[in-house]
C-alpha cells in the first residue's frame, strides 16, 4: 500500500526540511504544498529526496493546501493519505499508529486526538479550555458526535476511498471541523487514536491565536450558506 | 416642506428612469412595475406621513420613522451578509484556479532523487 504524507506549509522555510525528513521513514512519498509563502519554503522542500513540492501562487489557507495535496496524492496513486503539520508539532513516529488502523482495515479515516490519554506537551490552559468549548460548539452547532475528543485535530489519515468521497470546501482553518462533520455523517468507518502534540514557544508564536476560534465559527456559518 | 419636495423630485426622477430603461428593453415590464410601485409608495409616504404612523402602529412599533429605521437595519444586515457569501464564493473560485495552476506542474516536478547532494537547488 502506497502511503503519501501531505504537509501544508506556510512560511516554514526553516522547519520544513526537519519535519519532512522526520516523516520520510514512515511514508512512501511526501507532498509539501507551499501555500504562497513569502519565504523560500518551496525551494527548501523541493531539494529533499522523495518530496514532491507544489506551490500555490498566492496564499489560500491550510484547508486549500490540503485539498490540493489530496488531489495530487490521488493522482500519484496513494492508497493512504496522511495530513501532517509543517511546524513540527506532530510526532512523525506516530504516523504508523494512524496508518496501521487503515492498513488492518479497521477504519477508513483515522483522527489523531490530543485528548486520549497522551498529554499534549506545553499546551496552554487557555487553549485547552478553548478546545473544550470547541467540542461543545461542534456538538451543538455542527452536529458532530460528542465522542470526538479533539475538535480541531490536524493529524489524520484517510484511505483512498475516503479521500475521494470527503469533499471539504473550507479553505482556511475551518476545514478541520468540516472534515469531522463530513466523515461522521458519512458511512465511512472512523476512529480516533491518541497522539502527542508538542507546543513550543516557536509554534505558539506562529500558531493560531485563541481569537481565531471566532473566525473558524464565522467561516463555518458562511459555509452553510455558500453554494458550490 | 422642503424635504418633501426634494424627496418627491427624487422619486419622480427614478420613476422616469425606470420607464426609460423599460423603453430601452433593459428591464422587463414586470420589473418596471415592481420598481414603480416602490417609488410611488415612496411618494405616498412623503405626502402623507400619517400613513407610516398607521403602518407602524399596525406592526406595534411606536413611530413611523422607527418602523422605517428597523426595516432599513434589517435589510442592510441581509445585504451585508449576502455580500459576505458572494465574497466567499469568489474566494472559492480563486482557490480552484490556484489549485489547478499548482497541480499543472505536478508531472514536470519529479522529486529530487535520493543521490543528489542534500544542498541541491534547482536553477529556479
Ligand atoms: N497551507 C497553509 N498552511 C498554513 C497556513 N497557515 C498555517 N499553515 C500550516 O498549518 C500548520 C498548522 O498551523 P498552525 O497555525 O500551527 O495551526 P494549529 O497547529 O492548528 O494551531 P496551534 O495549536 O496554535 O499550533 C502549520 O504546519 C502551518 O505551516 C496557510 O495559510 N496555508
Ligand atoms: Mg500548529
Q: What is the pLDDT of residues A185-194, one digit of tens each?
A: 999 999 999 9
**Shortest-distance Cα residue to atom 16 of ligand 1:** A207
Comparing CA positions, the residue from B11, B120, B85 lying closest to residue A222 is B85
Count of domains for chain B: 2
Q: Average of pLDDT values for A32-50?
A: 96
- Residue B113 with chain A: CB contacts under 8 Å: 49
Q: What are phi and psi of A32, to 5 degrees?
A: -105, 125
CA-CA distances (angstroms) from residue B1 to A24, B46, B54? Answer: 80, 10, 21
B107 vs A21, residue with greater confidence: A21
Q: Are residues B1 and B40 in the same domain?
A: yes
Q: Please identify, by atom number, the ligand 1 atom nearest to the C-alpha of residue A65.
A: 1
C-alpha–C-alpha distance, residues A143 and A175, integer Å: 15
The answer to whether the CB atoms of A64 and B118 lie below 8 A apart is no
Q: Are residues B38 and B73 in the same domain?
A: no
Q: Is residue B39 part of a domain?
A: yes
> How confident is the model at residue A119, as a pLDDT?
77
Maximum distance among all Cα pairs of chain A, rounded to whole angstroms: 46
Whether B44 has a pLDDT exceeding 60, the answer reads yes
A151 CA distance to ligand 1 centroid (A)? Answer: 15
The answer to whether the CB atoms of A47 and B120 lie below 8 A apart is yes
- Check if A117 contacts B (Cβ < 8 Å): no
Q: Is residue B89 part of a domain?
A: yes
Q: Are residues B36 and B72 in the same domain?
A: no
Question: Does the CB atom of residue A19 touch ligand 1 within 6 A?
Answer: no
Whether B24 has a pLDDT exceeding 80, the answer reads yes
Q: Are residues B40 and B5 in the same domain?
A: yes
The answer to whether the CB atoms of A226 and B109 lie below 8 A apart is no
Q: Are residues B1 and B34 in the same domain?
A: yes
Strands A190-194, A80-83: pairing kind: unpaired
Q: Are residues B43 and B1 in the same domain?
A: yes
Comparing CA positions, the residue from A73, A100, A91, A110 lying closest to residue A190 is A110
Q: Is residue B59 part of a domain?
A: no
C-alpha–C-alpha distance, residues A128 and A115, integer Å: 10
Q: Which long-range contacts (CB under 8 A, 24 or more apart) does A100-106 make?
A: A101/A157, A101/A191, A101/A193, A102/A157, A102/A158, A102/A159, A103/A1, A106/A189, A106/A191
Q: Are residues B42 and B70 in the same domain?
A: no
- Which residue in chain A is spatially nearest to B100 when comparing CA positions? A68
Which domain covers residue B85, as residue numbers?
64-105
> How confident is the model at residue B122, as a pLDDT?
42
Comparing CA positions, the residue from A203, A202, A137, A205 lying closest to residue A176 is A137
C-alpha–C-alpha distance, residues A175 and A169, integer Å: 7
Q: Which residue has the cell 535520493?
A: B114
Q: Are residues B39 and B4 in the same domain?
A: yes
C-alpha–C-alpha distance, residues A144 and A135, integer Å: 9
- Which residue in chain B is spatially nearest to A52 when comparing CA positions? B111
- Check if A52 contacts B (Cβ < 8 Å): yes
Q: Please identify, by atom number, the ligand 1 atom nearest to the C-alpha of residue A123.
A: 23
Q: What are phi and psi of B92, to 5 degrees?
A: -65, -35
Reported as a single tens digit per residue, the pLDDT across A146-168 is: 899 999 989 999 999 999 999 99
List alpha helices for B24-116, DSSP H.
Answer: 29-47, 50-59, 64-103
> How confident is the model at residue B18, as a pLDDT?
94
Q: Is residue B73 part of a domain?
A: yes
Q: Is residue B4 part of a domain?
A: yes
Q: H or E segment at A181?
A: helix A175-185
Q: Is residue B114 part of a domain?
A: no
B20 CA distance to ligand 2 centroid (A)? Answer: 59
Reported as a single tens digit per residue, the pLDDT across B70-112 is: 899 999 999 999 999 999 999 999 999 999 999 999 877 667 6
Q: Are residues B38 and B69 in the same domain?
A: no
> How confident is the model at residue B109, as a pLDDT?
62
Q: Is residue B68 part of a domain?
A: yes
**pLDDT tier at B63 (50, 70, 90 boundaries)?**
confident
C-alpha–C-alpha distance, residues A5 and A204, integer Å: 24
**pLDDT tier at A25 (50, 70, 90 boundaries)?**
very high
Q: H or E segment at A113?
A: strand A109-113
A86 CA distance to ligand 1 centroid (A)? Answer: 7
> How confident is the model at residue B120, as a pLDDT?
39
- Residue A228 with chain B: CB contacts under 8 Å: 89, 92
Whether A67 has a pLDDT exceeding 90, the answer reads yes
**Shortest-distance Cα residue to atom 3 of ligand 1:** A62
Structural domains of chain A, ranges and CATH numbers in brackets: 3-225 (3.90.550.10)
Q: Are residues B6 and B38 in the same domain?
A: yes
Q: Are residues B43 and B4 in the same domain?
A: yes
Whether B114 has a pLDDT exceeding 60, the answer reads no
Q: How far is B75 from chain A (nearest CA, A)?
A: 17
Amino acid at each position: 500500500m502506497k502511503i503519501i504524507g501531505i504537509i501544508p506549509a506556510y512560511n516554514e522555510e526553516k522547519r520544513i526540511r526537519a519535519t519532512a525528513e522526520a516523516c520520510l521513514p514512515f511514508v512512501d512519498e511526501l507532498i509539501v504544498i507551499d501555500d504562497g509563502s513569502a519565504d523560500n519554503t518551496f525551494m527548501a522542500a523541493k531539494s529533499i529526496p522523495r518530496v514532491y513540492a507544489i506551490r500555490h501562487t498566492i496564499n489560500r489557507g491550510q484547508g486549500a493546501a490540503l485539498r490540493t495535496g489530496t488531489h495530487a496524492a490521488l493522482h500519484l496513486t496513494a492508497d493512504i493519505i496522511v495530513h501532517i503539520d509543517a511546524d513540527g508539532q506532530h510526532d512523525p513516529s506516530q504516523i504508523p499508529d494512524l496508518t496501521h488502523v487503515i492498513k488492518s482495515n479497521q477504519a477508513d479515516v483515522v483522527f489523531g486526538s490530543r485528548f486520549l490519554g497522551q498529554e499534549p506537551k506545553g499546551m496552554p490552559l487557555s487553549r485547552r479550555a478553548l478546545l473544550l468549548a470547541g467540542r461543545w460548539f461542534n456538538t451543538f452547532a455542527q452536529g458532530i458526535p460528542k465522542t470526538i475528543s479533539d475538535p480541531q485535530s490536524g493529524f489524520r489519515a484517510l484511505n483512498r476511498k475516503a479521500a475521494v468521497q470527503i469533499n471539504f470546501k473550507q479553505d482556511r482553518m475551518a476545514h478541520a471541523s468540516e472534515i469531522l462533520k463530513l466523515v461522521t455523517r458519512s458511512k465511512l468507518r472512523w476512529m480516533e487514536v491518541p497522539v502527542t502534540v508538542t507546543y513550543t514557544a516557536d509554534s505558539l508564536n506562529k500558531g493560531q491565536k485563541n481569537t481565531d476560534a471566532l473566525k473558524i465559527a464565522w467561516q463555518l456559518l458562511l459555509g452553510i450558506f455558500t453554494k458550490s | 416642506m422642503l424635504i418633501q419636495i426634494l424627496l418627491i423630485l427624487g422619486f419622480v426622477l427614478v420613476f422616469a428612469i425606470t420607464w426609460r430603461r423599460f423603453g430601452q428593453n433593459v428591464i422587463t415590464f414586470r420589473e418596471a412595475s415592481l420598481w414603480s410601485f416602490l417609488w410611488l409608495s415612496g411618494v405616498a409616504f412623503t405626502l402623507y406621513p400619517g400613513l407610516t404612523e398607521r403602518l407602524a402602529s399596525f406592526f406595534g412599533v411606536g413611530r413611523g420613522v422607527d418602523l422605517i429605521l428597523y426595516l432599513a437595519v434589517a435589510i442592510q444586515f441581509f445585504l451585508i451578509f449576502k455580500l459576505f457569501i458572494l465574497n466567499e464564493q469568489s474566494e472559492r473560485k480563486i482557490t480552484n484556479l490556484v489549485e489547478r495552476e499548482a497541480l499543472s506542474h505536478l508531472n514536470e516536478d519529479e522529486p529530487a532523487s535520493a543521490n543528489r547532494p542534500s544542498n541541491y537547488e534547482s536553477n529556479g
